Structure 1
Amino acid sequence: YENKVIGWIRVSRSISPTVDTLKKIKIIIFITTPLFIFFATLSSLFLARRALAPIDSVTKTASEIEKGDLSRRIKIPIANDEIGRLARTFNKMIARLEDTFNREKRFTSDASHELRTPITIISAKAEAALTKSKKIEDYRKALKVIIRETKRVSFLLSQLLLLARSDEGKSILNIEKIDLKMIIESIIIEMNDKAKQKNIRLSLTSEQNLVIKADQTFIIMLFLNIIENSIKYNKKGGLINICFYKEDNNAKVIIEDNGIGISDENLIHVFDRFYRVSESRSDKGSGLGLSIVKEIVETHKGQIKIDSKLGKGTKFEVSLPVNL
Structure 2
Amino acid sequence: MSLRTRITVSFVLLMAGAMCFIAVVELVDYDEVRASAVSRAQDGEVRRLEDAIRLGSPRVVTHDSQLYDEENVPTVLRQYGPGYHGEPAPNEWHLRVFDVEGKRYYLLQDGEHYAYLEHLINAFAALVILTCVLCAYWIGRLTSAHVIAPITRLSEAVQRTSKPFPYQDARDEIGVLARAFAQHSDELERFLHRERCFAGDASHELRTPLAIIAGAAETLLHQLPPDSHLLPSADRILRTTQEMQRQLTCLLLLSRSPASLSLTDVPLRAIVQECMARCAPWLAGKPVTLRLDAPEEVTVVTHAELAHCVVWNLLRNACQYTDRGEVRITLREGELAIADTGPGLPPTIDPAQFSRFLPSARQDGEGLGLSIVQRVVEHLGWQMKVETSAQGCRFLLHLSSPQARA
Tell which has more relative contact order, 1 or 2 (C-alpha 8 A, sep 6+): 1
| TM-score calculated relative to the size of structure 2 | 0.39
